[in-house]
């Protein structure tokens, strides 16, 4: 008799009653695969990320469990993420690897690399100091990932280091895991990019997208203006991210969850005293990313060659790092004040604060047609009477 699916286990079982004639050859696979779940790593609107151990090997992974009922017909976002990760996740050391994907009638499961070093936000706060060269190292890693994605005609569309769901009046503030995580706490070189739910593969390098979606604080003007957009939106987001890392607030404010109209004009400032100790190279780097015309923005490859990237330390073969620059001013005392506001909110969601200091995560006008997968595999589920049998989609 097949054992029931216990709350602490996620399992797939072989079952003689499965009509294998319904399974597309080479696309779906059934085999026993047991995971024991542990501590919760993060909670989001649609599900939970848990630490998990594969019983047969003892290896640790992150198990992303998504409740289909909460997705309300948006399961395609997850299947899109699976499709993207299957194509690119094993090709870059700073992109999380998707090891397995399977589902039950009620949930979707993604088995991913375990990033136990925490989120970027936490890393900076715990580090005790944060210099401009640290920010340059973080951005260099993100650019390296984006260059790889763009080379493979993938637009991420949701690059960010921090976000909070909007709140109005007495509405509950909700946090989700960031998509910039650390594999370990050893160094900044362990930074990983995750969460490809809003990513899109372009059929041609110059293909234009039209769906208005993303995180408003990081979204490029052409998305708000309902113009066609492509790879340059990721570079705009990196510009916003760089600005935030260096001063602790965003270049375009939010008021009650509404983005400042200045974003539509790419109008921003390096206000004193916040930017007094920041290098001219950093300001120039940001200015060449936050351009109104997407054709004027640096590409990821061009940005990696910008003089500001010389601020990032070079890692030697033995793991040590050297920097060609004299250490800059510690930014944490100033930047940390803004970070700590977010830390207070994260620990106490009922705390009153000005909505203008928050980032807002929304999916606007999500159109399924842009997220249609082109896989020939059938999305088939077979469930025994205990509800414990899952169909595993082969990643081969």
Contact 292, 265 (CB under 8 A): yes
Contacts of the segment 314-321: beta carbons below 8 A, 24+ positions apart: 315/189, 319/187, 321/187
- 113 given a catalytic annotation: no
Radius of gyration of the CA atoms of the chain, in A: 22
Instruction: Label each residue of 164-233 as H, E or C.
Output: ECCCCCCCCCCECCCCEEECCCCCHHHEEECCCCCCEECCCCCCCECCCCECHHHCCHHHHCCCCECCHH
The answer to the question of whether 64 is labelled as a binding residue is yes
Place of tokens 């160094």: 187
Catalytic option among 144, 158, 234, 260:
158
Contacts of the segment 169-176: beta carbons below 8 A, 24+ positions apart: 172/349, 173/345, 173/349, 173/350, 174/45, 174/349, 175/43, 175/345, 175/346, 175/349, 176/42, 176/43, 176/44, 176/45, 176/361
Give start and end residues of each alpha helix (H) in the chain.
Answer: 68-71, 75-88, 120-127, 132-151, 221-224, 232-247, 280-287, 300-304, 332-347
**How many angstroms separate the Cα of 248 from the Cα of each of 125, 188, 361, 370?**
12, 18, 18, 34
Binding residue positions: 64
Binding residues for ATP: 64
Catalytic residue numbers?
Answer: 158
């Amino acid at each position: 008799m097949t054992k029931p699916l216990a709350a602490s286990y996620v399992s797939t079982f072989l079952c003689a009653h499965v009509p294998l004639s319904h399974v597309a050859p080479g696309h779906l696979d059934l085999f026993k695969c047991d995971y024991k779940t542990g501590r919760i790593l993060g909670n989001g609107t649609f599900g939970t990320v848990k630490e998990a151990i594969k019983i047969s090997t003892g290896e640790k992974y992150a198990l992303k469990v998504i409740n289909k009922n909460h997705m309300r017909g948006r399961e395609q976002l997850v299947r899109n993420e699976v499709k993207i990760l299957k194509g690119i996740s094993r090709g870059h050391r700073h992109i999380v690897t998707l090891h397995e994907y399977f589902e039950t009638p009620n949930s979707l499961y993604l088995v991913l690399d375990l990033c136990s070093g925490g989120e970027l936000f936490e890393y900076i706060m715990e580090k005790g100091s944060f210099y401009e060269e640290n920010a340059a190292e973080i951005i260099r890693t993100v650019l390296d990932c984006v260059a790889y994605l763009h080379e493979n005609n993938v637009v991420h569309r949701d690059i960010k280091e921090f976000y909070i769901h909007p709140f109005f009046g007495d509405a509950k503030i909700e946090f989700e895991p960031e998509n910039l995580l650390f594999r370990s706490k050893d160094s900044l070189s362990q930074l990983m990019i995750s969460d490809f739910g809003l990513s899109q593969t372009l059929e041609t390098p110059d293909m234009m997208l039209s769906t208005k979606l993303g995180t408003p604080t990081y979204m490029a003007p052409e998305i708000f203006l309902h113009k066609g957009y492509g790879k340059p939106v990721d570079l705009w987001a990196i510009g916003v991210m760089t600005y935030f890392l260096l001063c602790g607030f965003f270049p375009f404010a939010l008021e009650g969850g509404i983005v400042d109209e200045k974003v539509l004009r790419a109008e921003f400032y390096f206000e004193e005293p916040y930017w007094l100790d920041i290098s001219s190279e950093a300001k120039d780097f940001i200015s060449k990313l936050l351009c109104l015309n997407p054709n004027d923005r640096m590409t990821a490859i061009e940005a990696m060659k910008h003089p500001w990237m010389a601020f990032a330390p070079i890692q030697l073969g033995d793991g040590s790092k050297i920097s060609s620059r004299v250490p800059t001013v510690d930014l944490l005392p100033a930047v940390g004040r803004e970070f700590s506001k977010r830390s207070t909110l994260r620990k106490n969601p009922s705390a009153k604060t000005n909505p203008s200091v928050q980032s807002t995560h929304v999916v606007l006008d999500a159109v399924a047609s842009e997220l249609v997968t082109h896989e020939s595999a059938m999305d088939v589920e077979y469930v025994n009477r205990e509800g414990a049998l899952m169909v595993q989609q082969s990643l081969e």
